[in-house]
């Protein structure tokens, strides 16, 4: 097991990497598929809030995930200051940055390590979950990863790992676009209270919410470009007919 975890595994063929990337992109763009797959993004989003809250010395009360793919992470501490700002900032940037981390591991041939790291992160999040739907969502995701990492052959493991990395990279931008669309609707309705992460950050820092949305999008786009370069297949061996 230690040899598998610390060793390297071969990447799938170039055409399979391209096919998996197209499948991940289609999952993000197709509305019905996205609604189901977005639960994975929400797990990463709330996990990011929770991790940074702990790292900045805040007391974590727990995470709740809901069937509409929304979530909430509750922590206690100073209602202002760097810790609160970093905690609010972490949510939208975590999924694309996690995708970039996965891409770096896969580029180094660490497929098994990437899968087991995913399981460890899901296990840590599960401990923090405080509602039934959230627990079921994390358990279901973890069960799929465990089944692939334990029972599947090397080729299927590679395909699944690349699919997960591509999905997180492509999925980083869509929630940000949805966030800004919701903010526009609330502003048009003259809502008195905008509760998004961007608006919480605006309240904490005085920097407009749109600036934070732009930062979220820039991080997602940057992670996609960098991760795409890492995951891009080696086509030097392709023979043109």
pLDDT digits (tens, 9 = 90+) for 71-102: 999 999 888 899 999 999 999 999 999 999 99
Q: How many CB atoms lie within 10 A of CB 139?
A: 14
Does 24 map to a domain?
Answer: no
Does 117 map to a domain?
Answer: yes
What are residue 62's DSSP bridge partners? 74
pLDDT band, residue 154 (cuts 50/70/90)? confident
pLDDT (0 to 100) of residue 235 = 63
Does 136 map to a domain?
Answer: yes
Q: Name which residue leads in pLDDT, 6 or 180.
A: 180
pTM, two decimal places: 0.92
Burial of residue 52 (number of CB atoms within 10 Å: 0-12, 13-18, 19+):
buried
pLDDT (0 to 100) of residue 241 = 45
Return the H-helix or E-strand segment holding 96.
helix 82-107
pLDDT band, residue 194 (cuts 50/70/90)? low
First and final C-alpha spacing in the chain = 43
Does 187 map to a domain?
Answer: yes
In 3D, which of 127, 163, 116 has the Cα closest to residue 16? 163
Burial of residue 238 (number of CB atoms within 10 Å: 0-12, 13-18, 19+):
exposed
Does 10 map to a domain?
Answer: no
Does 19 map to a domain?
Answer: no
pLDDT (0 to 100) of residue 233 = 78
pLDDT band, residue 193 (cuts 50/70/90)? low
Domain residues for 35? 30-231
CA dihedral 105, 110, 114, 120 (to 10 degrees): -120
CA 149/CA 168 separation, integer angstroms: 18
- The pair of structure tokens assigned to 63 is 């995470």
- The pair of structure tokens assigned to 17 is 């990497």
Long-range contacts of 22-27 (CB under 8 A, 24+ apart): 23/163, 23/166, 24/163, 24/166, 24/167, 24/169, 24/170, 25/166, 25/170, 27/167, 27/170
Q: Name which residue leads in pLDDT, 8 or 139.
A: 139
Count: domains in the chain:
1
CA 174 to chain centre: 11
Please compute the mean of the pLDDT values over residues 52-61 and round it to a whole number: 94
Does 169 map to a domain?
Answer: yes
Does 99 map to a domain?
Answer: yes
Q: Where are the beta strands (DSSP E) in the chain?
A: 59-65, 71-76
């Amino acid at each position: 097991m230690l040899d598998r975890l610390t060793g390297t595994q071969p990447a799938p063929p170039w055409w399979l990497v391209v096919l998996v990337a197209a499948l991940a992109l289609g999952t993000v763009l197709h509305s019905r598929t996205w609604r189901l797959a977005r639960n994975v993004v929400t797990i990463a989003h709330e996990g990011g809030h929770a991790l940074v809250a702990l790292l900045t010395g805040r007391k974590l009360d727990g995470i709740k995930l809901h069937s509409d793919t929304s979530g909430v992470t509750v922590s206690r501490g100073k209602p202002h200051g760097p810790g609160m700002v970093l905690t609010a900032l972490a949510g939208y940037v975590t999924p694309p940055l996690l995708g970039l981390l996965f891409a770096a591991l896969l580029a180094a041939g660490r497929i098994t390590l990437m899968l087991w790291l995913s399981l460890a992160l899901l296990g840590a999040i599960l401990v923090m979950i405080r509602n039934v739907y959230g627990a079921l969502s994390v358990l279901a995701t973890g069960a799929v990863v465990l089944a692939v990492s334990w029972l599947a052959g090397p080729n299927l493991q590679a395909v699944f790992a690349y699919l997960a990395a591509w999905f997180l990279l492509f999925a980083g931008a869509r929630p940000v676009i949805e966030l800004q669309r919701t903010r526009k609707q609330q502003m048009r309705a003259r809502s008195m209270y905008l509760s998004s992460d961007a608006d919480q950050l605006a309240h904490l820092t005085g920097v407009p919410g749109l600036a934070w949305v732009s930062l979220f999008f820039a991080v997602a786009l940057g992670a996609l470009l960098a991760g795409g370069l890492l995951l891009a297949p080696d086509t030097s061996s392709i023979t043109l007919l």
